[in-house]
A and B are shown apart, each in its own frame.
Chain A
Amino acid sequence: MNLLLLQGLGWLGFLGRPFVLEQLLCAALVFALLAVFRRRQPWLRRAPRILLLLGGTALAMVLAALLGRRFGLLMLSAQILAAFWLLRLIERFLLQPWLSPAAFHGLVSRILRPAFSLAVVVVVLDAVASLRDLASISLGTWFGSEIQLGTLSMVLVVLYFVVAGSVYPAQVVGWLAKRALAISEGSQTALVTLLRYGVIGLGVMWALTRLGIDRAGLLAVAGGLSVGLGFGVKEVFSNFISGLWLLMEGSVRPGEVLIHDGDACEVRSLDLRAATLLRASDNAELVVPNQSFFTSTTTTYTRSDRMRRCNLEVSAPSSWTPDQMIALLVELAASHPKVLQHPPPEAVLLGFSPTSHTYKLSFSIIDPLRANTVVSEVKLALWRRFDQEGLLMSPSGEGSMSPAS
C-alpha cells in the first residue's frame, strides 16, 4: 500500500521544482487572464472556452520556448485540450446527425467520454509516475494467483467497456437478423439482450482467465456461495435466471404489451433483475421483478399478434328493436378509424326488459395500449348518436354504457 501511495502521490514532490512551478503558474495565469478578458470582452464570450484555453496555452508554450524555459507540461495540457476539442467536434458533426438522441447520449456518456477520461488519467499518470511500476504493484494473492494492479485495472476497464459497449454490436446483429430473418421487433430486442448477456459472460470468463484465478478455488467459492444463494441472494439470483429464461422462451420480451395489475403496460426492457414496464394510462414506469412473470399468469396482447379485442356494454331503450340497435352499434364501431374491419365489430343482445335492452359491442384494435382511448372515443360517438336519436331522454333514465374490455 505504501508503494501504491508513493507511486500514486509521489508526484507532489515535483511541485518543489522551479521548472514545474513555472509551467503551472504559466497555466494558471492563462486561465486567470482568459477569465478576466472573457468577462470584459463580449467577442471573447462568444468563442468556445476550450478553444480559448487551447490558444492561451499554445501562446504560453511559444513564449516559454522563446525564453528557453521548459514547456513540456504546457504542451501536454495543450495536447489534452486539443484532443478534447477534437472529440467534441467528432461528437457534434460525425455522430449527432446520424444517431438518435438516446443512442448519441448513450454512446457519448458511456463510451466516448469515459474512454477519453481514462486516456487522460493514463497520460497524466505516465507523465508523473511510472505506469510500468504502478502496474506491477502486487495487491495480494487471490484464489492462488498473484494479482497486480495493472492486470486488475486492465480487466476492470475492459469489463466496463464490454458491458457499456456490447449493446452497439449486439444492436447491429439484431438489426441484421431482423432484416435477414424477418423476425419481429420483440424478437430482435430479445436477441440483442441475449447477445449482450453472451458477450458480457465471455468478458467475465476472459477476466477470470486474465487474472489467472485458480478455477478450483473459484469452484470452492461458488460452492460456498450456493449456500448463500439459498438464503441471502436467492431473490436476486432467481430474478436473473427468470430474466434469462423469459428472454429465451420469448414469453415476455421488450416491446410486448401485457396487463399488469389491471393496466395495459408495454415492456420497455428486461434486465438482469427486473423488467421495466411503461403503464399507458399514466405514463409511469414500473420496475417489476422478473420472477413475478415467471411464477404468475401473464396476460399479453402481443404473444401471437398485437391485436386487442375491446368490449363495451350498452343499455338502450326498448323503443328501438334489437336489430336496429345492433346495426347501429356495429356501424358506429366500424366507422372509428382505429377499429379493425377484420375481425369485424360485433354486437349481441345480452338481455331485455319492457323498458330497456342490454347489448355488448366487441371490436378489435391494433394498438393494445390505446384500448382505453379508443373505447372512450367509441362511447362518445354512441352518446352523440343516442343524443341525436333522442334515446338519452328516456324517462326511465336508460341509455347507459359500460365498457368491459
Chain B
Amino acid sequence: MQILPPNKSIQLFRFVSFSVEGCKRLRRALPLLLFPLLAGLQGCVPLPLINGETVYVMVVTQRRLDWLRRDDTEALFWKPLMDEFHRLHPNVQVSTYTVNEEAVRDELKRRTARGLGPDLILARAPMVNTLLSEGLIAPVPNTPSMRRTIASVSPRFLKRVRFSSGLSGLPLNELVSLACYNRQKVPTPPRTTEELMALAASGQTVGLSIDPYGIWWTAGTRGADLAMVSILTGVPPTTEAQRAKDEAAIVGWLAWLRQIAQQSRVDLASGPEELTKGLIAGRLDWIPCFSLTLNTLQTAMGDKLGVSALPTGPGGGPSPFNSLQVWAFGLDSSASQRQSASSLVQLSLEPFLQRRFVLDTQEVLPVNLTVQTPVASSGVLAALAEAHQQFQAGSPLLTKPFTLIHLSELSHRLEAVIQQVMVGVLTPQEGARQMIRLGRGGT
C-alpha cells in the first residue's frame, strides 16, 4: 500500500483533487452528509429497496389471543388487501407489525415521542377509544372522501367509536363469540344452558374459562348482564330497588356458575388457548370460542368442527363478547403517508373486499352497509350472523363507546372474584357484594 505524505494531493479527475487532510475531513463529515442524503433520496428518488413511500400499520393483538398463529390471517385478510392496494398504489409499501394490547399504550407513547409512530393502527374499538382519549392517535380525518367512506359503514358500528371530537377510528370488521364443538361427540349443539348441562351430565366434557371470551356470555342467560354493565361502567343504580335487583341477579348468576363448576364433566380452563387446544386434542367436546380461533380449529379438526350460536338461558339470551376491529390514524404521518393510509382504509371498506374477507376468512362479519353476511353459503357464517344478533340484543355494554381505562384493571379483579366463587372460597352472596364494591371503585 502506498502511503501519501500529508501535503500530497489525490487527483480524482482533471479539475478535482483532494489533499490527504481533505480526505480525512470528508470521512469525518460523511455521517453528517448521510442523513440529508438519505432524506433527499427518500424525498426525490424512490429507493430501490422500499420503492418509494412506506405506510406503517400497527396491528394490536387481543389479550389472551396472542398465541394464535396468524399465518391464515396473513393469507386470507392481508394478502388480498395488499394485492389490491399495490395494484392501485404501486409505489407505496405497507409495513405491518404486531403489538400486544397490553403494551400498545407504552409502545405508542415511545414511538410517537420519536416521530416513529404508526400511520395506521388496527385495534378493537375500546382500545382505539382509549388511545384517542389519551391523545395517542388522531381522529378520523374529516375529508370529503373519508366522509363518503364513513357513510358506507353501518351506524350501529360507528356508534361504538363516535365521540364529541369525532370518530376515534373507522370500523373494519366484527368478531364474535360463539360455540364450537366436536360433531362426533355432540351431534346437536345445545340451544339452552339446560341442554348444555344435560350434555355435561351425559358424559361429554364442557369447557369454560373465566374471561370475557369464555364466561361473560353466561351473564345474559341468567339476567345479570345489565347488573354487570352497571359494575363495569362504574355507574351504580340510582334506586335501592334497582340495587337490590342487580345484586339478586348477580347472586343468581354466580350461584349457577358455582353449580356448573362442581359438575365433574365441566372443565375450567385458564383461557381461550387452553379451551381451543382442549377441543383440538379431544379432551373437551364443547367450548365457547371466539371467531378469531375458527381458522385454527378448522385447520386442526376439519369436518369434526361444529359451530353454533351460544345457548340461551332462563334469564334471556346470552351476552356474548364481541370485538369491533377498527382502523385508527397515527399522529406522526407526513401528508403523503396520511393520504396513503386513508386510501388503504377506504379500500378495505370497499364492498368487494368486505365480502371477500367474510367469505375467505369465515371468522369476521362485514361492517359495510351494503354487504350482507351470506348466511346461506356456510353454516359457520350463519352461526356468526346469529351470534351477532345475540350480541346486538344481549350485550348493552359493548354496543356503546367506552374506553379501557376503567375496565382493564377492573376486569382482572372481577375475574378473580368469579373464580373464588366457583371454587368455593366465597359464597355467591359474598362474591356479588365484592363485585358491586369493585364497580364503585372499592378494592
Interface residues of A (CB under 8 A from B): 5-7, 9-25, 27-28, 31-32, 35, 70-73, 75-76, 127-130, 132-133
Contacts and interface: CB of A to CB of B under 8 A. Distances in A.
B7 interface: no
B93 A25 contact: no
A19 B29 CA distance: 23
Contacts of B54: 10, 12-14
B13 interface: no
A15 B337 CA distance: 12
Shortest beta-carbon contacts, A-B, top 5:
A13-B54, A19-B115, A72-B114, A130-B97, A72-B113
B332 interface: yes
Given A14-B116, A75-B113, A5 B336 contact: no
Nearest to B28: A35
A24 B333 CA distance: 16
Nearest to B333: A17
A23 B334 CA distance: 15
B38 interface: yes
A21 B39 contact: yes
Contact of A31 (B32, B39, B98, B116): B32
A20 B116 contact: yes
Nearest to B100: A132
A16 B99 CA distance: 23
Count chain A CB atoms within 10 A of each CB in B32, B42, B114 and give the residue with the most. Answer: B114
A127 B337 contact: no
A331 to B, nearest CB: 59
Contact of B114 (A7, A16, A73): A73
A13 B36 contact: no
Contact of B115 (A6, A10, A70, A130): A70
Contacts of A129: 97
A15 B113 contact: no
Nearest to A8: B49
A133 B276 CA distance: 24
20 contacts: A6-B93, A7-B95, A9-B50, A10-B54, A10-B93, A13-B95, A14-B115, A15-B38, A15-B39, A15-B42, A18-B115, A19-B114, A19-B115, A21-B39, A24-B39, A27-B35, A28-B35, A35-B29, A70-B112, A72-B112
B43 interface: yes
Contact of B49 (A12, A15, A28, A133): A12
Interface string B19-48: 000000000110110011011001100010
A11 B35 CA distance: 13
A12 B42 contact: yes
B110 interface: yes
B25 to A, nearest CB: 9
Interface of B: 28-29, 31-32, 35-36, 38-39, 42-43, 47, 49-50, 53-56, 93, 95-99, 110-116, 332-334, 336-337
Contacts of B115: 14, 17-20, 22-23, 70, 72-73
Contact of B38 (A5, A12, A18): A12
A274 B55 CA distance: 54
Contact of A28 (B36, B332, B336): B36
A71 B113 CA distance: 6
Nearest to A28: B32
A6 B50 contact: yes
A18 B110 CA distance: 17
A18 B56 CA distance: 16
A23 B35 CA distance: 11
A70 B114 contact: yes
Contacts of A16: 39, 42-43, 53, 334, 336-337
A104 B382 CA distance: 70
Nearest to A22: B115
A12 B114 contact: no
A102 B15 CA distance: 50
A19 B53 CA distance: 16
Most A C-beta atoms less than 10 A away, residue of B53, B95, B98, B116: B116
Nearest to B114: A72
Given A5-B49, A6-B95, A17 B332 contact: yes
Given A17-B332, A129-B97, A133-B97, A12 B113 contact: no
| Residue picked from A5, A17, A35, A129, most chain B C-beta under 10 Å | A17
B38 A13 contact: no
A72 B93 contact: no
Contact of A12 (B47, B55, B112, B337): B47
A13 B98 contact: no
A18 B334 contact: yes
A245 B54 CA distance: 58
A7 B57 CA distance: 12
Contact of B334 (A17, A24, A75, A133): A17
A13 B114 contact: no
B28 to A, nearest CB: 7
A19 B112 CA distance: 9
Given A16-B336, A128-B116, A132-B99, 11 more contacts: A5-B49, A15-B38, A15-B42, A17-B115, A20-B332, A25-B35, A27-B35, A35-B29, A72-B112, A72-B114, A75-B113
Contacts of A22: 115
Contacts of A10: 50, 54, 56, 93, 95
A19 to B, nearest CB: 3
Contacts of A23: 114-115
A242 to B, nearest CB: 39
A14 B47 CA distance: 13
B334 A12 contact: no
Nearest to A20: B115
Contacts of A15: 35, 38-39, 42-43
Contact of A72 (B43, B49, B110, B336): B110
Nearest to B33: A28
Contact of A76 (B42, B49, B96, B114): B114
Contact of B98 (A19, A35, A73, A132): A132
Contacts of B43: 15-16
Nearest to B32: A28
Nearest to A29: B32
A154 to B, nearest CB: 19
B98 A133 contact: yes
B288 to A, nearest CB: 28
Find the residue from A27, A31, A130 having the highest chain B CB count within 10 A: A130
